[in-house]
Structure 1
Amino acid sequence: MIFIVFFSLNMFIWGQKSSGAVPFGTFFALLVPLVYLGAFFGYRRPKIEPPTKTNMIPRTVPEHAWYTQPVFSVLIGGLLPFGAVFIELFFILSSIWLHQYYYVFGFLLLVFLILIITCAEISIVMCYFQLCAEDYHWWWRAFLTSGSSGLYLFIYSIVYMSTKMVMTRGVSILLYVGYMLIASYSFFMLTGAVGFLACFLFVHAIYGAVKVE
């Protein structure tokens, strides 16, 4: 997905005859080895075994209240991770797009650690409520619960562009939106992975303690 967006933006840069365009050879020199390298290590990973025996016949999930529906819980779950980095995002965007200096890298590391902890905690809490409601479809919801903070990041970037930046050319606006889409998607993947791994370890631990005779 990142390759498609970046390649499309690069086409517009080529159309403007800018020296910042990335050559075709660089694209494929990076893409092809990384894809095959990731597939090589991914398929060599051992199969994950559940900590306890599971029933092969899926059980019916009971009806839930409106506040436990997937869409509502996912959107609410992304607010806390985004709120943890909300203030710092302003300075990061200003340093990237308004050419301002950024000095507080130690504080940025602290905010990053708070983000990781917040993603893990909110995902585990929402996963626990979901399991208490006898809904065992937690895999993707655990990923999307904390990963939805990437959606709020993209919305905030659009608000930042509208209030803090002056852009008149359509290509400039397109490049800003495209690059922030890549950044938001990367943020979505990072926070979603943290939330899923935290829930996976949580579920593995609680069900691993169950003694089935």
Structure 2
Amino acid sequence: MYEIADTFIPAGDRNALPLERAKLGLVVDEGLRLLRGAIETVVTSLNRNATVEFEPADLVWAEVGARVMVNGREIGQAGVFSEAIRRKLDFKDLTPCGAEIDFEELMSLKAGAIKIRPIPRFPAIERDLSIVVPEETRWADIAKAVQAGAPAELEDVQFVDIYRGKGIAPGSKSLTLSLRFRDEDGTLTHETVDAYQAAILASLKTAVGAELRT
């Protein structure tokens, strides 16, 4: 679901008129992967050379949040709605995600000459890692811990899912991350990636008290 509408931001001077900005709002109920894909599709349809990145961030309205960066510039925010918002809107068992993109920033992207990126010579290995952490643990801290324990071969890390319920102790939550590894100089073995994943898990355990969900 999407909508383009004007938003009004209070100005610094209480006597001044609020700042008016057009925003693109997106909401999906199938996780951050789908939301990320939708945002990337919108951006690259305007500029095929644009680089879209999602930087972990603490957002008031999101349990797992990120800044939407295009070519190094922030154009919006995205994330999983907080539990308080899900309860208020009666989402029940759904895990809805949303994004707000500055429409003027989006439309300012200018299409240039098409650049062809080389196809990687060696395949990537993807792993899903499910961990249990204290309820108050922030996604930004988890992402930071992953990077602290990650090798240079970690190409990407993405939030996949969050779970509370049977098998998870009260006061805790389970998060699933997707890790993608690639060596530009050779083919990775599963044994090597096992060691990389173990190092990342050790970093998560030290930084945020994470435990592997089995």
TM-score over 0.5 for the pair: no
- If the length of structure 1 is used for normalisation, what is the TM-score? 0.25
Q: Which has the larger radius of gyration?
A: 1
More strand by share: 2
More helix by share: 1
- If the length of structure 2 is used for normalisation, what is the TM-score? 0.25
